[in-house]
């Protein structure tokens, strides 16, 4: 029989999942994914699966959001590099037109 605490955590997991889906900003979405991973770990712990809960904390609450943030940083850096290269190329073409 499911207790009131397990029911509450199940509703919290559902709300956190909806929060992940409805979040549009990738950085905020990684934070929402981390919170979702923690709520899943709590649910696993309440269903007496502490080994799965610990794995979920490591993977879902730490590793996955970290990988998302690192990927976002890499994409942001590449965008800046492309923008800088485009500005330099544009400045060179302006100099050629002036000559």
pLDDT tens, 55-97?
999 999 899 999 999 999 999 999 998 888 887 776 666 555 5
Provide Rg for the chain, Cα atoms.
22
Q: Give the number of C-alpha atoms closer than 13 A to the C-alpha of residue 93, restricted to the C-beta side.
A: 6
- pLDDT (tens digit per residue) in 19-52: 999 999 999 999 999 999 999 999 999 999 999 9
Distance between CA atoms of 8 and 46, rounded to whole angstroms? 11
User: pTM of the prediction?
Assistant: 0.78
Domain that holds residue 71: 4-98
pLDDT score, position 17: 96
Give the separation between CA 92 and CA 95, rounded to whole angstroms: 5
Q: Into how many domains does the chain fold? A: 1
């Amino acid at each position: 029989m499911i207790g009131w605490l397990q029911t509450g955590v199940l509703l919290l997991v559902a709300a956190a999942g909806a929060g992940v889906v409805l979040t549009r900003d990738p950085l905020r979405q990684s934070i929402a994914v981390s919170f979702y991973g923690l709520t899943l770990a709590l649910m696993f712990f309440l269903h007496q699966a502490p080994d799965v809960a610990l794995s979920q904390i490591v993977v879902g609450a730490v590793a996955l959001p970290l990988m998302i943030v690192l990927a976002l940083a890499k994409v942001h850096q590449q965008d800046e590099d492309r923008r800088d290269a485009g500005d330099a190329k544009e400045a060179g073409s302006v100099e050629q037109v002036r000559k």
